[in-house]
Amino acid sequence: MDNQITLRVDGADTPLTVDTRTSLLDAMRERLGATSAKKGCDHGQCGACTVLLDGRRVNSCLVLAVTAEGQEVTTSDGLATGGTPHALHDAFVDHDAYQCGYCTPGQIASAAGVLAEAARGWPSAVTEDLVADATDLTDAEIRERMSGNLCRCAAYANIVPAVAEVAVEQGVRA
């Protein structure tokens, strides 16, 4: 069954008619030509489809497009401003934090979410002091918080320092 919706992806509003079964991921990729987020497992297990939905990282394969109306979707592409790469983009390049690159837009959108969550003082499963006021994104914290993003090339050893560099810049890593 078809529904009329308007999706706002990376700042652009597009009205479209979608089958209610369409995921946000498929609507972006197949209907809007917004191919930054990738389809890996399509089950919420790999993280390649990660986008920010009203600033929070989610798996866009598990979000029905009809439920995303009125929300701001930001992909890795949308993190760049006016052709200038986001600090995470630069850090991933500088640290060679990928091999094939397929998971990278999801990794970067997820990392942006991690930084925002750390700025809110949210703990993780490896945080010793649950009631600490501030978060220190140690390597162990980054690994735990990024565990929803798989990299089959296993570029993890370079992804962690890439995220760490931006975490220092943003004041969420000592």
Partner 1 sequence: MREFRYEKATDPAGAVALLAGEPEGAYLGGGTNLVDLMRLGVATPDVLVDVRQLTSTEVEDLPDGGLRIGAAVPNADLAGERRVRERYPLLAQALLAGASGQLRNRATTGGNLLQRTRCTYFTDTTMPCNKREPGSGCGAVNGYHRNLAVLGATNEGADSSHTCIATHPSDMAVALRALDASVRVLGADGERSIPIAELHRLPGDDPSRDTTLAHGELITAIDVPALPWATRSRYRKVRDRASYAFALVSVAAAMDLQGDVVADVRIALGGVAHVPWRATVAEDLLRGGPATEAAFVAAAEAELAAADPLSDNAFKIPMATNMVTRTLVQLAEARA
Residue ranges in contact with partner 1 by CB under 8 A? 1, 3, 19-21, 23, 42-44, 47, 50, 53, 56-59, 62-64, 66-67, 110, 113-114, 117, 120-125, 127, 130-131, 143-149
Q: How far is CA 171 from the centre of its chain?
A: 20
Two structure tokens written together for 135: 């978060």
CB of 154: closest distance to partner 1 in angstroms? 14
Phi-psi region of 76 (alpha: psi -120 to 50; beta: other; left: phi over 0): alpha
Nearer to partner 1, 56 or 96 (CB): 56
Burial class (CB in 10 A: 0-12, 13-18, 19+), 64: middle
CB of 120: closest distance to partner 1 in angstroms? 6
CB of 45: closest distance to partner 1 in angstroms? 8
CB of 171: closest distance to partner 1 in angstroms? 18
Site of tokens 């990660």: 50
Nearer to partner 1, 111 or 155 (CB): 111
C-alpha distances out from residue 130 to 46, 123, 154, Å: 27, 6, 30
Nearer to partner 1, 59 or 158 (CB): 59
